[in-house]
Amino acid sequence: MNALDLKLTRNLWHMRGQVFAIAMVLAAATATFVLSMGTYRSLVDTRDAYYAQSHFADVFASMTRAPRSIVDTVGQIEGVQRAEGVIQQYATLDFPDRNIPVRGLINSVDENGRTRLNQIVLREGRMPRAGEPGEVVVDELFALANGLGPGDSVEALIYGSRQRLDIVGTGLAPNFIYALPPGDIIPDDERFGIFWMGRKALEAATDRTEAINSISITLERGASEPEIIRALDRILEPYGGLGAYGREDHLSHAFLDNELMQLDAMTRVIPPVFLLVSVFLVYIVLGRMIRTERTQIGLLKAFGYSSRQVGMHYFKFALVIAMLATVLGSLAGIWMGHGMTELYASYYRFPFLNYNISPGVFLGAAALSTGSAALGALAGMRSAIRLAPAVAMSPPPPPVYRAGIVERLGQRAGFSAIGHMIVRHIARWPGRSAMTILGVALSLGLLFSTVQFIDSSRNMLDSYFFRAQKQDLSVSFTEARNEDVLFELAQIPGVQRVEGTRAIAAQMSNGNLTERTALESAPENSILTARIDSSGAEIDMPISGLMLSRQLADQLKVGAGDSVYVEMLGGRRTARMMPVASIVDEFIGARAYAGPATLEELVRDRAPFATALLRIDPLFRDDILTELKEMPVVLGVTERDAALVKFEEMIDDNIFTMIFFYIAFASAIAVGVVYNSARILFSERAHELATLRVLGYHRTEVGIVLLGELALLVIAAVPLGCVIGYWLAQLMTTMFSSDLFRLPFAPNRATYGYASLIVLFSALGTAALVALRVLRLDMVRVLKAHD
């Protein structure tokens, strides 16, 4: 180790507190990068490997009923690699000790218990055997949530007939990574499960001998998906085809893709904040160190060290900080990544989900840390290189204090001598003071922009579950029904109001832009459902024409007054140009609405209701649920309060976990900025503070000189931090929104206060540590020392 390296080691040890504080800020950026990129890569790799191993299909289509021979016809389409037809049938499950309706989706498998596409990964037990009509495999999470396993059985109402299902195994499939019951927006493993049954048994149970109602296909490499979808739709149209769609529109894949998009957004938004602060910190600390080592720099150059060697000496100081930050941040990112992976494993049905971080992630994190530290070191290196030996060995000119505007304002404000000392020093170093303010402000802004996600989520829940949905129960039917079923539901004791709604699959086009959605309708006098826009206003259903959600309108690039081509994928499959009457800003989904008359004109049938909304007397809840469970026309029942609880659990698990991390990260920024500023102030003013003690000032008064300056800078950072947080939160809200969810920007005033208090307490605790040095100040040693 040469002399410069020994000097570097001593400097690092002497400034270990400041070095560690800067490293913690850089480590926060590294941890965020490793967390998000590691989790993102792990999910993508797991998804792709699972899709490949289980032969997840590329295109999907459903129909009312088609002969099994249609699969061979579909397989002849140019570009189709493989096709498979199955039966999918919803069923109502009967748990004797529960009156809550439980639904299941039963899928057929061949007589050998296999599928060519969307293959099942068996987790326990075995597949159904030929000639055993009641044997089923159930998805693993449903089995765990309901205490089921091989050897258990459950009664089911399938296609109007009761049948006992004997569970012989548990498994998972790639088309149900995120399994949603009809009409719900969040999985509920206690109330909805996936089953697989032998083909012959399910054909008999659903009266579909040698028939199918669902088909999946995989494509050859380079095949045109839109062309194949159009060809598939033409083949299935005579059989009640509901419109084919690609993998990107598959519900399970879409939810998983939405999560991946948010992880990617996190990587692009959060780390730059930390990196910017760390650049300032390295710049301030290294600049201060070079100023105090002017004489040493002059001696080094006088003894023959080149400017390049001196510059590299200080550059190594920044590199050591970056290396320390990379190690600490990587370890923290790995630990947090494991926690996030376990969280995702509880919501997504993967047979394996390993948190594996590629070396490229660590190299990227190291590059970010090194780059930001090097950027902060450049200015200091330049000043060290440019110093001539003669100039460097002479002391720098002392700062000149004049009675300027700060002095005059202080006199008018009645500042004491200590107050004058505080504001004069801030004015003497405006650049450094501004950097301290900006660093603390960025800390507050980052904290606010993450904490406000709680407000956004609560606002979305309030809008969707309380203002848009005022029913207690949503009852879905096995098929669309007329008004008679509403009268029947209204006769159940305890039911106070019944309203019918309907949603029909539709494809909307504007030029070459095409989107698949649902066209929904509700009665004109409806009070149990409403369309609520982002401002909280209730929007009336249009008398004629369509009302599109903002997401759907943006995807089709249309506005109010434009027209879209609507092709119904149900009923009589009518198609026509329809005017867009209005646009509504909604938070969930990309949807379209039409008045009852408009939808009836498009569908042209006499069965306008697929779902009934019920308001009930809570005292009759159990009796009503029991009666609904016994009605053959009822496919499933969704309780609004139960769905709200599940949604809140998911939000709490996801958002509170992330907010815990970012409170720690934001606190690290505040601690790093305040600690380095305090240490620099103390080193600069130690001689001055000792002189004040000799002159008779009390320790408390001397401490106020140091802490008062920090307090003014931190307080000045609060309003700037609120402004930065406001715009950063808007940016993050926009980037985290997708076609499935669009978070509102609706922060509460209290959130500004919470974020400010966390930053202020972090700054206060850090400043208190430095204040102890003031209280233990050795006046004799300080007054003898030379700067």
- Domain check: are 76 and 208 in the same one? yes
Alpha-carbon dihedral sign for residues 747, 750, 751, 756: positive
Candidate ranges 53-57, 679-683, 749-753; pick with highest mean pLDDT: 53-57
pLDDT class for 643, splitting at 50, 70, 90?
confident
Is the model's pLDDT at 167 over the cut of 80?
Answer: yes
Eight-class DSSP state of 397: P
SS3 227: helix
- Domain check: are 542 and 611 in the same one? yes
d(CA 597, CA 618) in angstroms, rounded, equals 34
Residue 414, sorted as left (phi over 0), alpha (psi -120 to 50) or beta, turns out to be left
Long-range CB contact pairs, 524-530, < 8 A, 24+: 524/595, 524/596, 526/499, 526/501, 527/470, 527/497, 527/499, 528/469, 528/470, 528/471, 528/497, 528/499, 528/613, 528/615, 529/468, 529/469, 529/470, 529/471, 529/499, 529/501, 529/613, 530/467, 530/468, 530/470
Structure tokens at 600: 């009836």
- Domain check: are 6 and 101 in the same one? no
pLDDT class for 701, splitting at 50, 70, 90?
low
Eight-class DSSP state of 172: E
d(CA 396, CA 298) in angstroms, rounded, equals 12
Residue 201's nearest CA partner among 129, 140, 152, 151 is: 129
- Domain check: are 274 and 243 in the same one? no
Residue 508's nearest CA partner among 561, 571, 576, 572 is: 576
Q: What is the pTM of this model?
A: 0.76
* 312 is a domain residue: yes
Residue 366, sorted as left (phi over 0), alpha (psi -120 to 50) or beta, turns out to be alpha
Residue pLDDT, tens place only, 361-412: 888 888 888 888 888 777 777 777 776 766 666 666 665 655 556 566 655 6
Please give the mean pLDDT across all residues of the chain.
79
Residue 153's nearest CA partner among 172, 133, 175 is: 133
Q: Which residues contact 139 (CB under 8 A, 6 or more apart)?
A: 170, 171, 172, 173, 176, 179, 193, 194, 195, 349
What's the CATH number where 532 sits? 2.40.40
What one-letter code names the amino acid at 397?
A: P
- Domain check: are 583 and 690 in the same one? no
Is the model's pLDDT at 671 over the cut of 50?
Answer: yes
* 724 is a domain residue: yes
Full residue range of the structural domain in which residue 268 is found = 1-56+249-396
- Domain check: are 742 and 776 in the same one? yes
- Mean pLDDT for 647-670 is 71
* 45 is a domain residue: yes
Structure tokens at 567: 């092709």
- Domain check: are 120 and 260 in the same one? no
Residue pLDDT, tens place only, 592-633: 888 877 877 787 766 677 788 899 898 988 888 888 877 878
Is the model's pLDDT at 500 over the cut of 60?
Answer: yes
Q: Which residues contact 407 (CB under 8 A, 6 or more apart)?
A: 420, 424
Domain count, the chain: 4
* 694 is a domain residue: yes
Q: Which residues contact 775 (CB under 8 A, 6 or more apart)?
A: 699, 703
Among 616, 633, 663, which residue terminates a domain? 616
- Mean pLDDT for 171-195 is 84
Among 349, 381, 396, which residue terminates a domain? 396
Is the model's pLDDT at 170 over the cut of 90?
Answer: yes
* 14 is a domain residue: yes
- Domain check: are 780 and 759 in the same one? yes
Eight-class DSSP state of 491: T
pLDDT class for 772, splitting at 50, 70, 90?
low
Q: Which residues contact 79 (CB under 8 A, 6 or more apart)?
A: 219, 220, 222, 223, 224, 227, 228
Provide the pLDDT for residue 787: 45
Is the model's pLDDT at 255 over the cut of 70?
Answer: yes
Provide the pLDDT for residue 730: 83
Eight-class DSSP state of 78: T
Is the model's pLDDT at 316 over the cut of 70?
Answer: yes
- Domain check: are 274 and 373 in the same one? yes
Is the model's pLDDT at 779 over the cut of 90?
Answer: no
Is the model's pLDDT at 425 over the cut of 70?
Answer: no
CA distances from 108 to 28, 212, 244 (A): 50, 9, 20
Token pair 């490997």 is found at 49
Name the more confident of 107 and 745.
107
pLDDT class for 420, splitting at 50, 70, 90?
low
CA distances from 488 to 523, 617, 627, 638 (A): 18, 17, 11, 18
Among 208, 227, 248, which residue terminates a domain? 248
* 292 is a domain residue: yes
* 411 is a domain residue: no
CA end-to-end span of the chain, whole Å?
27
pLDDT class for 166, splitting at 50, 70, 90?
very high
- Mean pLDDT for 724-752 is 78
- Domain check: are 276 and 204 in the same one? no
pLDDT class for 59, splitting at 50, 70, 90?
very high
Polymer length in residues for the chain? 787
Eight-class DSSP state of 571: T
What percent of the chain lies above the pLDDT cut of 70? 84
Candidate ranges 212-216, 463-467, 506-510; pick with highest mean pLDDT: 212-216
SS3 529: strand
* 43 is a domain residue: yes
- Domain check: are 506 and 560 in the same one? yes
- Burial zone of 485 (CB within 10 Å; 0-12 exposed, 13-18 middle, 19+ buried): buried
CB 755 within 8 A of CB 662: no
Provide the pLDDT for residue 636: 77
d(CA 283, CA 249) in angstroms, rounded, equals 49
- Mean pLDDT for 197-212 is 88
- Domain check: are 450 and 359 in the same one? no
Provide the pLDDT for residue 55: 92
Residue 564's nearest CA partner among 507, 505, 503 is: 507
Of 165-174, 407-416, 422-431, 634-643, the poorest mean pLDDT is in 407-416
